[in-house]
Chain A
Amino acid sequence: MTRYELKKVFFRTGNKIALFVLLAMTGIVCFFACSVPYTDADGVTRGGPWAVASLRVDQKKWEGILDEDRIRQVIAENKRITDSPEYLSEDVTKNNIAYSWGQGIMEIRELLNRAYAEGFRDYNYYRANGLEEADAPQFYGNRIMLLEEWLRDEAADTFSEEEKAYLIHQYESLETPLYYDYMKGWSQLFEFAPTIVMITMLVLGYLVSGIFSGEFTCKSDGIFFTSLYGRNRAVLAKIKAGFLIVTIIYFAVMLVYTGITVGYLGAGGWKCPIQINQWKSLYNITVGQEYLLILAGGYMGCLFISFLCMLVSAKAKSAVTAVVIPFVLIFIPSFIANINNPLVNKILGLLPDQLLQIGAALNYFMLYTVNGKVFSAVPVLLTLYPALTLAFIPGIYYTYRRRQII
């Protein structure tokens, strides 16, 4: 039965087109994710495999523990570059030549900008240029100090005392010194992951919306519901088909996306802590773990929204209403995000669109206190939505099996 349900979905012309669009969009996103520029010694910026290989060679030179000595070396190297005649020149080509020397320390230099910022929420691209080697010892201490200052002043009323203590504890728990490695493959993958997950979600929503309503639109409902399994096993087969479609297509797309991006740009750096890329994140996990979270979050989000689509199409007997749901769930939060209200923000932090962009959620200080215990958003999301998705299954089953044909 499930096989035939899958056939019903994949035989439909509209669905074939949707899959083709998904394939094309995956290709386009992979292209952008793999587009890494590199400026050569002559100041000419180029792309392609050569650029990737050159960048990797440059950044690999700085692989290792980011201890005080290494920070000092990076500050010194940055100073050497910024004091050079090429950097100070008014000739753009010479500026580009100077830029080319700094590509190896580019990521670490970015960490300096954040670690030595004036305030927790400040950002100054040129901050690293003003540092002296003597500033190196404050590198990790500054991270905690800036947070504490911010929680005392600007964010004093935003968090409860338990939440403040939780944030400081998370910062202090970060194992330092951090390990640095070339990780362009992962950083590019993370940057474009929300795009690919959202596109996949929209296509999946479209595909599964017709599973239940299809019987009504084809007018085959009468025969379906009068068959022996029409009000039990055949309904379960439809749910199973929906689950398989989401699972197979989602993981196939992510496999292709990961395979191409990481295969092309390199898989190195997966053991590094995410703070190399997301300095302020309160989640003390590695890049590899972040990838798994993105993968799991995206899957949970796709599954939840797809099952919601199936529930609506089973109830409304129409795919049109159901197809709108993913758009509403993805785009409405971005409209109401401008409302600066702590309660609204807390609600927004738990909406399913967050699952589709877990990488971004790792940057937010979205906390939830239940009975005095503080939880960060990501574990809450990954617990809440599987439970809700499971709750949809009996909902879909009973809605559909009780259907009457008037």
Chain B
Amino acid sequence: MELKITELTKTFQDIHAVDHVSYTMTNGVYGLLGVNGAGKTTLMRMLCTLLKPTGGQITWDGKDIFSMDGDYRRLLGYLPQDFGYYPDFTVYEYLMYIGSIKGLRPVAAKKRTEQLLKQVGLLKIKNRKMKKLSGGMKRRAGIAQAMLNDPAILILDEPTAGLDPSERIRFRNLLGELAGERLVLLSTHIVPDVEYIAKEILLMKDGKFCASGTFKELMTSMSEQVWRMTVRRSEVEHYLNKYKVSNVRSVPEGAELRVLSEVCPLAGAVKEPAGLEDLFLHHFGERSGEADDEI
């Protein structure tokens, strides 16, 4: 099982939303990280056959996914960024309907719905209308619908956007549980969402993959190192303009900064192990003075 992207391009007028991207994915969780507007959603929509590429190809086990038509959609589970639902349907009705359009026979759909409702913790409120669910519950209903057909490819576009921390953790655990023997592509701009569960991480910027690999590989590939240092409060602005700073914390002595730099930025600065957030900053971050950043 292999999902292969070759020179994939999508252009909207003069804008290259996805620009000659190539990658091959097999089973496991892939984390797609990037700032807003990096092209993640456009890429995912093409992978879901919702959008036709301007150039390049996507193949599943060597077959073009657009030519596969229904045979590809049969393998697919998708949770879009703006998860839409039918507000007047109950959770149960909603899943049964999605089951029907996913080609599940009523008996199988009923069994699978009950099973997934239990798994996502919505069984007790299965007769509640979708519009009356909380944000987290809706997302859980969303993941349940994506899993209804037991997909070989599960594509989740910003599934944790707008969720509170506890719901995000719950969602992440649920995803780890459901990932199993399938290809999961999870797009997010919230770094911890993928830090622990992704087999490989893809960093997307300006429509291109700027880095990819396992967490370890990516960390090793970082040219900058992470430094912890304490400075006077009046100096914070200077360091923010000069370096990429991933954290500023007030301490009695002034401010403690977490700085990315190839060389030691200040005598007494202590080298720290890098995390995914540091990697994110390394690729997408700009020093305060450079531009309006989106982080």
Residues in B neighbouring A227, C-beta threshold 8 A: 73, 98, 101-103
A272: min CB distance to chain B, Å: 49
| A215 neighbours in B (Cβ, 8 Å) | 84
Interface string of A213-226 (1 = CB under 8 A from B): 01100111111111
B253 / chain A contacts, CB cutoff of 8 Å: none
Evaluate whether A1 and B78 lie within 8 angstroms (CB atoms) in the complex, with A228-B73, A228-B149, A404-B52 already known: no
Contact A405-B102, Cβ < 8 Å, known A11-B88, A218-B85, A228-B70: no
Question: In the complex the two chains form, what is the Cα distance from A406 to B17 in whole Å?
Answer: 11
- Residues on the A chain within 8 Å of B51, using CB: 404-406
Contact segment of B42-50, B226-234, B235-243: B42-50
In the complex, what's the smallest C-beta–C-beta distance from A296 to chain B, in angstroms? 34
- Are B100 and A1 in touch, CB under 8 angstroms? yes
Report how far A228 CA is from B148 CA in the complex, Å.
12
Query: Is the C-beta of B60 less than 8 angstroms from some C-beta in chain A?
Result: no
One of B73, B89, B97 near A226 (C-beta < 8 A): B73
Q: Give CA–CA (A336, B79) in the complex, Å.
A: 51
Stretch at the interface among A34-42, A63-71, A175-183, A229-237: A229-237
B102 surroundings in chain A (CB, below 8 A): 227-229
Contact of B101 with A230 in the complex, beta carbons under 8 Å: yes
The answer to whether the Cβ of B23 comes within 8 Å of any Cβ in the partner chain is no
Q: Are A223 and B78 in contact (CB under 8 A)?
A: yes
Asked whether A220 lies within 8 Å of B101 as measured between CB atoms, the reply is no
Complexed CA–CA distance, A284 and B97 (Å): 51
Docked Cα-Cα span, A153 to B172, in Å, equals: 88
Residue of A8, A218, A405 touching B50 (CB-CB under 8 A): A405
**Overall SS of chain B's interface:** loop
Chain B residues with Cβ under 8 A from A375's Cβ?
none
Q: Does B194 contact A (CB under 8 A)?
A: no
Complex Cα gap A149–B206 (Å): 82
B50 contacts A220, C-beta separation under 8 Å: no
Say if the beta carbon of B86 comes within 8 Å of chain A: yes
Alpha-carbon gap, A1 to B78, bound state (A): 19
Interface positions of B from 92 to 145, Cβ below 8 Å from A: 93, 96-98, 100-103, 145
Out of A220, A228, A231, name the residue touching B85 (CB < 8 Å): A220
For residue A12, CB closer than 8 A to chain B, the reply is yes
Cβ of B76 < 8 Å from any Cβ of A? yes
Instruction: Establish whether residues A226 and B50, one from each chain, have CB atoms under 8 Å apart when the complex forms.
Output: yes
Query: Which among B70, B86, B96, B103 is the interface contact of A218 at CB below 8 angstroms?
Result: B86
* B294 at the binding interface (Cβ < 8 Å): no
Write the chain B residue with the least CB distance to A4: B97
Q: Determine which of B50, B82, B93 lies in contact with A4 in the assembled complex, contact meaning CB atoms within 8 Å.
A: B93
A347 to B102, CA, bound (A): 46
The answer to whether B48 and A222 touch across the interface, beta carbons within 8 angstroms, is yes
Q: Verify B84–A218 contact, CB threshold 8 A.
A: yes
- Report the interface size for chain B: residues with CB under 8 A from the other chain: 34
B135 CB, min distance to chain A CBs, angstroms: 14
A224→B73 CA distance, assembly (Å): 11
Q: Once bound together, how far apart are the Cα atoms of A1 and B52, in whole Å? A: 27
Question: In the docked arrangement, what's the CA distance between A12 and B87, Å?
Answer: 9
The verdict on B80 contacting chain A, using a C-beta distance below 8 Å, is yes
Task: Give the interface centre of A214, A215, A223, A233 by most chain B CB atoms within 10 Å.
Answer: A223
How far apart sit A13 and B79, CA to CA, in the bound complex (Å)? 27
Residues in B with CB closer than 8 Å to A230 are 73, 101
A7 at the interface (CB under 8 A from B): yes
Closest chain A residue, CB of each to CB of B82: A219
CB neighbours (8 Å) of B48 from chain A are 222, 225-226
A232 proximity list for chain B (CB < 8 A): 70
**Nearest B residue (CB) for A215:** B84
Q: Is B170 part of the contact surface with A, judged by Cβ < 8 Å?
A: no
- Residues of the A chain whose Cβ atoms lie less than 8 Å from the Cβ of B73: 226-228, 230-231
Contact A7 B74 (CB under 8 A): no
CA distance A1 to B89 in the complex (A): 14
- Contact, CB under 8 Å: B52 / A223: no
Residue B69 lies at the interface, judged by CB distance under 8 Å to chain A: yes
A228–B89 CB distance below 8 A: no
Q: How far is the CA of A380 from the CA of B73 in the complex (A)?
A: 45
Give residues in A with beta carbon < 8 Å to B.
1, 4, 7-8, 11-13, 214-215, 218-234, 404-406
Known contacts A7-B97, A222-B84, A227-B73; can you find 7 more A-B pairs with CB under 8 A? A7-B89, A219-B82, A220-B84, A223-B79, A225-B49, A229-B103, A231-B69
Q: List 14 A-B contacts (CB under 8 A).
A: A1-B100, A4-B93, A4-B97, A8-B88, A11-B86, A218-B85, A222-B82, A222-B84, A223-B146, A224-B101, A228-B101, A228-B103, A229-B102, A230-B101
